[in-house]
Amino acid sequence: MVGLEADLNKEDECDNIGLGCALEHFSEVEDVMNMIDNLKNIYDTPQLEVDYDKLYSILKQYYEQPHLLDPHLDKILSKFIALIKDKESPTGLKHATFNYMYQIIRVRGYKVVVRHLPHEVSDLLTVLTFLEAQDPMDKETWRSRLVLLLWLSIVVIIPFHMSRLDGFAPDQPGTAESCKKLTVMERIFNMCKLYACSKDSCAEASAYLASKFLTRRSDVKEVYLGAFFNWACDLHSNLKDQDTIHYGVLAAVAAVLKHGKRDDLLPYTPKLLQWVTDQNYKHHSAMLVRKYGVKIVQRIGLTFLRPRVASFRYTQGSRSLAVTLGGVAAAGDTEPVAAPPDDDDQDIPQEVEEVVELLLCSLRDDDTVVRWSAAKGVGRIGARLPALAAADVCEIVLTLFAENERETAWHGGCMALAELARRGLLSPMQLSGAARCVVAALARDEARTAGGAGGRAARDAACHAAWAFARAYDAAALAPHATALANALIATACFDREINCRRAASAAYQENVGRHGMFPHGIDVLTTADFHSVGPRNNAYLVIAPQIASFPEYTRPLVDHVVDLKIEHWDYAIRELAAQALNKLTDKIPEYVATEVLPKLVTKTGSIDLNVRHGAILGIGEAILALSKTKLSDGKMADSLISEEIWQSVRELVGRLRVRQQFRGLGGELMRQACCRCIARLSQSIMNILK
């Protein structure tokens, strides 16, 4: 919100992640204080830009540890406020001060910084006057307006009736001049409306201000809350061009619905729902419009349903690590409880069905932030529904995992499952279907296209769902699915293309081991495939995976994952690594590789898919080389298990490819390289393949 996130983008394929969270304190605080003191001397010189860049360079080091700034915030902000309130400070100096404040807000977060700003009664008119003096169309001073809007948001919650600040009573007889004056509440209300329609970050800052102002004491709620909703609905309903929709207005409505009291908002929710439905925001081209449309919809649904703790929800048993590792029960532990579905007679408004339908549709949205917001909405509303209605929502979410659904639907479905699971809304019976869907999502890996990321988002969200399962359910509920989840997570941690997915799978595996201890050899595997070791891709494929494969429960699943998914991966580099990994895994299960894997690879060499052929040829060479170096329990070499039929197919491989003219065309060079590498591996083997 307010565009204050770090803007450092990392390369997708980068495995080198720098050391994070290594700083111990804000060591440059004195430099920052000196730069603030020097503002008076440089605010109208070229040196200002140099110092501004230096301040940014200092503060950006603390994006991952912004709390280190907290002990110094009051001291830093007091210097800023002194410059702003000084009547002798020129306008240029004040704008420079606001720019510096913006950098502090950007790093620490506006919700924290706002609490440290002065908020006395006397500050209200000061800040409001500053804000009214700004030019909303000036592109150079938007940071000043943003800071003032955030500052005003903490000042407006003063516990006094704002009419005391007016100095006149416009509702009583008086002079014509006094009747033309605007009250303080009207002036603030006008600022909310003005900046809600802006096209920069001030729109979202205005939304935060509106949420604080319109939900304060009855002096504002009774007069301006309904007026604001009517203004927002009329503004967009009268627009002829949908591209001119002001997302800041939607953000403000969503923020007010979030912070307002249910009894105050309930009279306006039917009109707001009708407004959102008629505008059809879920099909708008702008991501922010769809995002705030989803937020409005879910908060309307929450307003219709009274807050409660669902009596039917699954209650996690022990959360003690001591119990997991075989200790005694922890104090306060409870047994899993699932109340009967007919224990709730709550009347559900008809509008809630429409809200749930809109949220479920948004789980397929093209943008992650929209799907994430919809998933949280599904979880929050599901927690307030009766048992049967909540079960229906869970079943509909499971339908998103159909083979013909796009990656976005799988991603949204995994996030929704995580939200439902961590609230205990998935019954143990539904957990079975959810676990199968998560395992399937972890194996979803398709070639990247212009419209998708090849399943990366779905796999990452599936790890989050597996993590949520561990936190929400006890060992008894997860026992039937523990083996499948363990194999899927460890295969992802070792062999996924993306570093974030490998690390997410490792974290989910760790959570499951710590919570219920049902994963085979959990502690030993976890210490091998920890968060840091699975980061480098080569290390995960060629070092971590063979170590884990030494445990019999994981050997065959890891080999199958490599052969079925990674050998024919769409990425050339992954196919090469997968073939090398097969070489490292073969000695753990030579009989299976010789009798089952090699025939499968030979069959794949006849595929019309270039990726499948290329990976299979590489795999054949690596597998045979490993078999030639592996001894069986009876002393024989593992290559003796290879049938004569397979040997004959390997000898004729190059000839078959030449007859099919697969050494020509666009894929010819790749086929020639693969065959050369396969021949090189066969030559290294100690057997005579020509006999």
Instruction: Pull the structure tokens for residue 176.
Output: 């014509």
Contact yes or no for 642/628 (Cβ under 8 A): no
Looking up tokens 């949420």 gives 211
19 burial class (0-12, 13-18, 19+ CB within 10 angstroms)? exposed
Please tell me the distance from the alpha carbon of residue 412 to that of residue 368, in angstroms, as a whole number: 8
Instruction: Pull the structure tokens for residue 639.
Output: 């290559």
Q: Count the helix, strand and coil residues of the chain and give each as a percent rounded to the nearest 5.
A: 65, 0, 35
User: What is the pLDDT at residue 87?
Assistant: 86
Please tell me the distance from the alpha carbon of residue 651 to that of residue 656, in angstroms, as a whole number: 10
User: What is the pLDDT at residue 452?
Assistant: 52
Q: How far is CA 388 from the centre of its chain?
A: 29
User: What is the pLDDT at residue 11?
Assistant: 34
Helices (H), 109-242: 110-115, 121-132, 142-155, 176-180, 184-196, 202-213, 218-220, 226-237
Please tell me the distance from the alpha carbon of residue 109 to that of residue 115, in angstroms, as a whole number: 11
Tell me the sheet residues that pair with 491: none
Tell me the three-class secondary structure of 219-249, residue by residue: HHHHHHHHHHHHHHHHHHHCCCCHHHCCHHH
Contact yes or no for 567/579 (Cβ under 8 A): yes
User: What is the pLDDT at residue 450?
Assistant: 47
**Closest listed residue to residue 361, CA positions, set 349, 373, 350:** 373
Cα-flanking dihedrals φ and ψ of residue 43, to 5°?
A: -60, -25
- Torsion angle defined by CA atoms of residues 151, 67, 101 and 191, in that order, rounded to the nearest 10 degrees: -20
**Closest listed residue to residue 107, CA positions, set 160, 68, 153:** 68
Per domain, the residue ranges of the chain are: 567-691
Q: In a 3-state reduction of DSSP, which class is residue 444?
A: coil
Q: In a 3-state reduction of DSSP, which class is residue 555?
A: helix
User: What is the pLDDT at residue 370?
Assistant: 94
Q: How does DSSP assign 287-325, residue by residue?
A: HHHHHHHHHHHHHHHHHHSPP---TTSPPP----HHHHT
Contact yes or no for 686/629 (Cβ under 8 A): yes
Contact yes or no for 248/198 (Cβ under 8 A): yes
Per-10-residue mean pLDDT of the chain, 691 residues long, equals 38 41 83 92 90 92 91 93 90 93 93 91 90 90 94 90 67 46 89 90 93 86 90 76 75 93 92 88 86 94 84 56 48 39 64 92 92 94 89 92 90 95 87 94 78 77 95 88 95 95 96 91 92 94 96 95 94 94 94 94 93 95 91 82 91 92 88 93 69 45
Please tell me the distance from the alpha carbon of residue 293 to that of residue 279, in angstroms, as a whole number: 10
411 burial class (0-12, 13-18, 19+ CB within 10 angstroms)? buried
DSSP 541: I
Instruction: Pull the structure tokens for residue 246.
Output: 């002001």
Indicate the pTM of the whole model. 0.83
Q: In a 3-state reduction of DSSP, which class is residue 529?
A: coil
536 burial class (0-12, 13-18, 19+ CB within 10 angstroms)? middle
Please tell me the distance from the alpha carbon of residue 529 to that of residue 522, in angstroms, as a whole number: 10
User: What is the pLDDT at residue 333?
Assistant: 40
Instruction: Pull the structure tokens for residue 405.
Output: 């659904």
Residues whose CB is less than 8 angstroms from the CB of residue 117 and which lie 6 or more positions away in sequence, other chains included: 77, 81, 150, 151, 154, 155
Q: In a 3-state reduction of DSSP, which class is residue 666?
A: coil
Please tell me the distance from the alpha carbon of residue 466 to that of residue 421, in angstroms, as a whole number: 9
